[in-house]
Amino acid sequence: MNTIVDAIVLGCGGGGSAALYRLARRGLRVVGIDQFAPPHDRGSSHGETRIIRAAYFEHPDYVPLAQASWSAWRELETATGATLLEATGLAEFGPPDGIVVPGVLRAARQHNLNVHSLTPDEAATRWPALAGHGLDGVYEPDAGVLRVERCVAAHLDAARAAGAETCFSTRVSGWTCGDAIAVQAGDQEFLAERLIVTAGAWAGGLLADVGVPLTPRRQVVAWHAAGAEMAVDAGCPCFLFELPTGVFYGFPDVDGRGAKVGDHAPGAVVADPSNLDRDLHDGERLALEAFVRARLPFATPTPLRHSACMYTMSPDEHFVVDRHPSDPRVVFAAGLSGHGFKFAPVLGQALADLAVDGATSLPIGFLSLARFARADGRS
């Protein structure tokens, strides 16, 4: 039997749950389809915590989007009664001529953000749990921790409260574009006027004809036993270190479950996102242990537990958010490249705008497909 709706959201993780909410809030009859039952731990939106920050060293154009997202997460807390965001601040350390510290300062200058430079002595006095010696430091107080699974659940709850339907544990095998868009999901067919694709690590297969490689890569994070000095209540912020061995980041102990640490370098290419290798390999463990030993004096190097996840990399590590080149009724957000979760509310809003109005007032032009065409000299 066919189900006829205004819009379908394919994939209801970080980005899709937000898009579902935004579409439902606009009064559309909308259904969200997912192969699992979000929030789940099979994709890219799990592992308890995500950092939200605005002083974006990767590209200053993300700053207004991050600021809008912060407000939107707070609004979602009000709408649902869930606690989603904890303002812990973020301390970042690196060489003065590296990528992180100069990039943070550039974004802060350009957007007049509340960011302070720190000497190693100031950092050591303020946070004995973070060993920034030998590096320059910057501190962004208006940064914090998002409870990732709770955020997905809150968007889904709010979407359902606004009238959205969900169809979970149902895999979409494809779609065809005719008078309506026909989406094949399990043994059902859904017909819609618009389709929003937010398929995370699976986007490469579903959006192959967009022509931009979207490569899933394995990431492993680990939790380490930590002293009271690393607790949020003790004022320990989130942290990020640019080191000769890579960029390592982590979280204070937010709920007595340990300090979480990750290596930001994209890991091995994942051939099949449905069969992710979830082990912590010796090389990964040793890299995390070496980081903890060198930079987190109140944490125990041997991990308590770990979790595997995926980054979906675009060629330039910036998101790709646009209308599909072969049918503008299909819109997508893909290639979130390991830094997309914080933006879920604005991505959801942008996708809803693109799907319904064909354009958005949000400043997402730098994330459009056109940049790849330009790089090829095609337009």
Q: Provide the minimum distance between the beta carbon of 38 and ligand FAD in the complex, in angstroms, as a whole number.
A: 5
Nearer to ligand FAD, 118 or 148 (CB): 148
Q: Minimal distance in Å, beta carbon 332 to ligand FAD?
A: 10
Q: How far is the CB of 205 from ligand FAD (least distance, A)?
A: 8
Could you tell me which of 361, 371, 274 has the C-alpha nearest to residue 40?
274
Q: Which is nearer to ligand FAD, 118 or 336 (CB)?
A: 336
Q: Is 309 a catalytic residue?
A: yes
Q: Which is nearer to ligand FAD, 34 or 242 (CB)?
A: 34
46 is catalytic: yes
Applying CB under 6 A, the site for ligand FAD has a residue count of 37
User: What is the C-alpha to C-alpha distance for residues 13 and 29, in angstroms, rounded to an integer?
Assistant: 19
Q: Does 258 bind ligand FAD (CB under 6 A)?
A: no
β-pairing verdict for 246-250 and 238-243: antiparallel
Q: Which two tokens stand for residue 51?
A: 């950092």
Q: Does 219 bind ligand FAD (CB under 6 A)?
A: yes
DSSP class of 352: H
Which of the ranges 81-89, 96-104, 196-204, 324-332 carries the binding residues for ligand FAD, by CB under 6 A?
Answer: 196-204
**β-pairing, 90-94 with 116-118?**
unpaired
8-67 residues in contact with ligand FAD (CB under 6 A) are 10-16, 33-36, 38, 43-45, 47, 50-51
Cβ-proximal residue to ligand FAD, closest one: 13
Query: Is 342 a residue of the active site?
Result: yes
Which of 343, 348, 364, 346 shows the shortest CA–CA distance to 51? 343
Of residues 101 through 140, those in contact with ligand FAD by CB under 6 A are: none
Determine which one of 46, 147, 217, 218 is catalytic.
46
| Catalytic, out of 12, 49, 53, 318 | 49
Choice between 120 and 188, CB closer to ligand FAD: 188
Instruction: Candidates 89, 237, 338, 345: give the one binding ligand FAD (CB under 6 A).
Output: 338
Phi, psi of 55 (to 5 degrees): -75, 85
DSSP 189: E
> Residue 193 in contact with residue 6, Cβ under 8 Å?
yes
Q: Which is nearer to ligand FAD, 263 or 353 (CB)?
A: 263
Give the residue with the Cβ less far from ligand FAD, 127 or 311: 311
- In three-state secondary structure terms, 305 is strand
Nearer to ligand FAD, 83 or 125 (CB): 83
Question: From CA 330, how far away is CA 251, in angstroms rounded?
Answer: 37
The yes-or-no answer on residue 40 being catalytic is no
What is the SS3 assignment for 106?
Answer: helix
Q: Which residues of 124-151 are buried (b: 16+ CB within 10 A; e: fewer)?
A: bebbebbbbeebbbbbbebbbbbbbbbb
Would you say 168 and 160 are in contact if contact means Cβ atoms under 8 Å apart? no
Please tell me the distance from the alpha carbon of residue 220 to that of residue 128, in angstroms, as a whole number. Answer: 26
Separation between Cα atoms, residue 309 and residue 210, nearest integer Å: 24
Closest separation in Å from C-beta 327 to ligand FAD: 18
Catalytic residue among 151, 236, 238, 309: 309
Contact 192, 164 (CB under 8 A): no
Give the contact letters, 275-314, x = binds to ligand FAD (CB under 6 A), - = no. ----------------------------------xxx---
- Output the six-digit token pair for 320: 């790709």
The residues carrying an active-site annotation are 46, 49-50, 260, 264, 309, 342
Binding site for ligand FAD (CB under 6 A): 10-16, 33-36, 38, 43-45, 47, 50-51, 171-172, 198-202, 219, 221, 262, 309-311, 336, 338-342
